C-alpha cells in the first residue's frame, strides 16, 4: 500500500462535511441507545457529547474516546461514526464519546480552531472556549479505565500511537498494532515525530506533565482522570477509508483486549 504523496507542508487530502457527519452520528446514536448532549461554547460553536451507560446497571469499565480536536484530521470523526453505526462498542461498559472537539477547524480544514489556537496545546490552563467547555464536562466524569484519543499525522509513513501507561504492561499497544496491521501500514521509523519508538509504531513518551508547558488533552486526562491513555495516529497521506479503518481497528483491538472480548 502506497501513500498518495499529496501532503507537502500540511494536509492536502480529502475533506469531510463535518456538520453532516455529526448529523449522521446523532441519528445513529439515537438508534443505538446513546444519550446526547450539546454545549454551545461560543456563538456558532457547539460541542457534541455522547454517553452510554453499561447495560443492566453493570459496574463498568469506564471507557472514553475523543476525536476531531484537529480540523485537518477527518478520519477521527468518521471513525466515531463507524463505531457507533456498527454498534462496535461494548454494551457492558460505561462509555463517553467526544466525536468532534474542534468544529470550526473542520469548516476550514485547519489544525487550529477559527481563532488560530491549537486546542491540543491548551489543557494546562485552558483559555479557548472549546477546551474550557470540554474540561468542565470532563470534570463531571468518574475515573476512566481506558482513554483513546483519535488523531492523524500528515507526515507519518504509517499508523503509530503514544502510550501513557505508568502501571504497565497492559499489552494494549501491541494489540492495537496487530489489529491495524492488516488494514494499514505501521510506521517502521525508529524516530517518529521527534520521539524514539519502543517497538514499531509504539511511542512511550515521558509522563511528567510538569515538563510540558503546553498540555495536550492526554496530559489533562492523565493528571485528572486516568492511568491508561492512548493517542492513536493514522497516516493521513493514505486514502481516507484506510485511515478510518485503521482507527476503528485500533479502538476495537484495544477494547477487545481490555475487556477480554
Ligand atoms: Zn491531531
What is the pLDDT averaged over residues 131-136?
A: 97
Per the domain annotation, does 39 fall within a domain? yes
C-alpha cell recorded at residue 86: 456498527
The answer, yes or no, to whether the previous bond of 169 is cis (omega within 30 of 0) is yes
Question: Is 51 within 8 Å of 95 (Cβ atoms)?
Answer: yes
61 Cα: distance to centroid of ligand 1 (angstroms):
26
Residues in the chain: 261
Per the domain annotation, does 154 fall within a domain? yes
59 Cα: distance to centroid of ligand 1 (angstroms):
32
236 Cα: distance to centroid of ligand 1 (angstroms):
10
Beta strands of 105-252 (E only): which ranges? 146-153, 160-164, 191-192, 195-196, 202-203, 229-235
| Domains of the chain: total | 1
Alpha-carbon distance of 110 to 71, in angstroms, equals 5
Question: Is 3 within 8 Å of 157 (Cβ atoms)?
Answer: yes
Please choose, from the candidates 71, 70, 81, the residue with its C-alpha nearest in 3D space to the C-alpha of residue 108: 71
Per the domain annotation, does 148 fall within a domain? yes
Tens digit of pLDDT for each residue in 15-59? Answer: 889 999 999 999 999 999 999 999 999 988 999 999 999 988 788
**Model's pTM, two decimal places?**
0.96
57 Cα: distance to centroid of ligand 1 (angstroms):
35
End-to-end CA distance of the chain: 30
Question: Is 232 within 8 Å of 148 (Cβ atoms)?
Answer: yes
153 Cα: distance to centroid of ligand 1 (angstroms):
6
Alpha-carbon distance of 121 to 55, in angstroms, equals 36
257 Cα: distance to centroid of ligand 1 (angstroms):
24
55 Cα: distance to centroid of ligand 1 (angstroms):
32
Within 10 angstroms of residue 67's Cβ, the number of other Cβ atoms is 29
152 Cα: distance to centroid of ligand 1 (angstroms):
5
Per the domain annotation, does 7 fall within a domain? no
Tens digit of pLDDT for each residue in 214-241? Answer: 999 999 999 999 999 999 999 999 999 9
88 Cα: distance to centroid of ligand 1 (angstroms):
23
| pLDDT value of position 5 | 80
Tens digit of pLDDT for each residue in 170-228? Answer: 789 999 999 999 999 999 999 998 999 999 999 998 878 788 889 999 999 999 999 99
76 Cα: distance to centroid of ligand 1 (angstroms):
9
260 Cα: distance to centroid of ligand 1 (angstroms):
29
70 Cα: distance to centroid of ligand 1 (angstroms):
5
Per the domain annotation, does 6 fall within a domain? no
Question: Is 252 within 8 Å of 65 (Cβ atoms)?
Answer: no
CATH of the domain at 125: 3.40.630.10
246 Cα: distance to centroid of ligand 1 (angstroms):
15
What value, to the nearest 5°, has the Cα angle with vertex 200 and ends 99 and 233? 15
Per the domain annotation, does 2 fall within a domain? no
Question: CB within 8 A of 238, min separation 6: which ones?
Answer: 1, 3, 4, 184, 185
Per the domain annotation, does 12 fall within a domain? no
Parent domain of 161: 18-259
C-alpha cell recorded at residue 249: 481497528
Residue 156: pLDDT over 70:
yes
69 Cα: distance to centroid of ligand 1 (angstroms):
7
What value, to the nearest 5°, has the Cα angle with vertex 95 and ends 94 and 97? 160
103 Cα: distance to centroid of ligand 1 (angstroms):
14
**DSSP-assigned letters across all residues of 30-69:** HTTT-EEEEEEEETTEEEEEEEEPPGGG----EEEEE--S
Question: Is 113 within 8 Å of 105 (Cβ atoms)?
Answer: yes
80 Cα: distance to centroid of ligand 1 (angstroms):
15
Per the domain annotation, does 3 fall within a domain? no
Residue 261: pLDDT over 70:
no
Amino acid at each position: 500500500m502506497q501513500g498518495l504523496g499529496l501532503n507537502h507542508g500540511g494536509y492536502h487530502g480529502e475533506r469531510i462535511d463535518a456538520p453532516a457527519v455529526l448529523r449522521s452520528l446523532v441519528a445513529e446514536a439515537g438508534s443505538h441507545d446513546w444519550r446526547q448532549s450539546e454545549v454551545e461554547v461560543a456563538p456558532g460553536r457547539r460541542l457534541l457529547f455522547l454517553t452510554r451507560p453499561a447495560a443492566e446497571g453493570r459496574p463498568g469499565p469506564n471507557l472514553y474516546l475523543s476525536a476531531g480536536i484537529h480540523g485537518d484530521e477527518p478520519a477521527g470523526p468518521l471513525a466515531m461514526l463507524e463505531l457507533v453505526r456498527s454498534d462496535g462498542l461494548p454494551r457492558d461498559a460505561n462509555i463517553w464519546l467526544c466525536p468532534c472537539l474542534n468544529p470550526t477547524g473542520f469548516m476550514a480544514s485547519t489544525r487550529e480552531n477559527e481563532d488560530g489556537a491549537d486546542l491540543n496545546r491548551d489543557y494546562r490552563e485552558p483559555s479557548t472556549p472549546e477546551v474550557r467547555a470540554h474540561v468542565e464536562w470532563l470534570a463531571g466524569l468518574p475515573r476512566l479505565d481506558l482513554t483513546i484519543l483519535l488523531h492523524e499525522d500528515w507526515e507519518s509513513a504509517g499508523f503509530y500511537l503514544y502510550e501513557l501507561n505508568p502501571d504497565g504492561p497492559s499489552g494494549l499497544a501491541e494489540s492495537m498494532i496487530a489489529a491495524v496491521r492488516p488494514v494499514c501500514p505501521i510506521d517502521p521509523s525508529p524516530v517518529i515525530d521527534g520521539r524514539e519508538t519502543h517497538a514499531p509504531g509504539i511511542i512511550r513518551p515521558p509522563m511528567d506533565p510538569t515538563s510540558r508547558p503546553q498540555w495536550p488533552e492526554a496530559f489533562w486526562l492523565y493528571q485528572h482522570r486516568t492511568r491508561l491513555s492512548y493517542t492513536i495516529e493514522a497516516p493521513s497521506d493514505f486514502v481516507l477509508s484506510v485511515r478510518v479503518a485503521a482507527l476503528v481497528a485500533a479502538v476495537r483491538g484495544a477494547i477487545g483486549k481490555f475487556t477480554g472480548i
